[in-house]
Chain A
Amino acid sequence: MTEVASPARLEPSQAVVEAVAKAEGVGPRELSPPLAYVVDPDALDSLFDRSKTDGVVRFRYCGYTVSVLASGSVDVQTAA
């Protein structure tokens, strides 16, 4: 339960909201604003869905710096 699920199971956008919610200690739907007001979740999900093996997308959301890796894993750090 400590890891964000694998890319086969979760779209990056889902992985992001679950990771940030976990870091905040709240439920995924308690995060405000919705993710779509910060990044386009469709774009995020389509970015790495075609056999891309590297690259990273980074953005701020709810006070965290969120990094989505091409592998599908999501890293969440408290924004400086």
Chain B
Amino acid sequence: MDTESARPETGEAEFLEPLTESLSNPERRSILRVLRDRTESDPLPVERLATELVARDRDAPPSTVTAEQSDRRRTMLYHCHLPKLHRAAVIDWDRAGERVSLTDRSEIREALSALLPGSESQGSSTDRRRGSS
């Protein structure tokens, strides 16, 4: 059957398919959580993103992660995950400057918060409680 013709032609949800595809991967969900949970608005250096991902996996402070430990992670950010998230328009990626941030597009941010619940409100799988020593 011709399913293409059943899609809305307004294009209002055309960002949803690449977005959900991106979110089907656990590493990319983690990346978006890191970016979403930031309080700073300036773009995040990719090196620090890799460090944060390793730290979350280990439930350890980022300061304990060495560059060597996050190196391979950082490589796959560059070769796989950041290009895909960039293509899905969910992040802004400065490839040469090695910095990344969530997109400013409000419709994508709204879709993201629906598709990726669990910052403070839901606890999610990471269950981190920052600042409560």
Contact = CB atoms under 8 A, between A and B. Distances in A.
**How large, as a class, is the contact surface on chain B?**
10 to 19
A34 B25 contact: no
Contacts of B76: 13-14, 17, 41
The 8 closest A-B pairs by CB, nearest first: A36-B83, A41-B80, A35-B79, A28-B75, A34-B79, A34-B83, A29-B78, A17-B79
B79 A28 contact: yes
Contacts of A35: 79-80
B78 A34 contact: yes
Contacts, number: 38
Interface residues of A, number: 13
A49 interface: no
Interface of B: 25, 72, 74-76, 78-80, 82-84, 87, 95
Contacts of B75: 14, 17-18, 28-29
A39 to B, nearest CB: 10
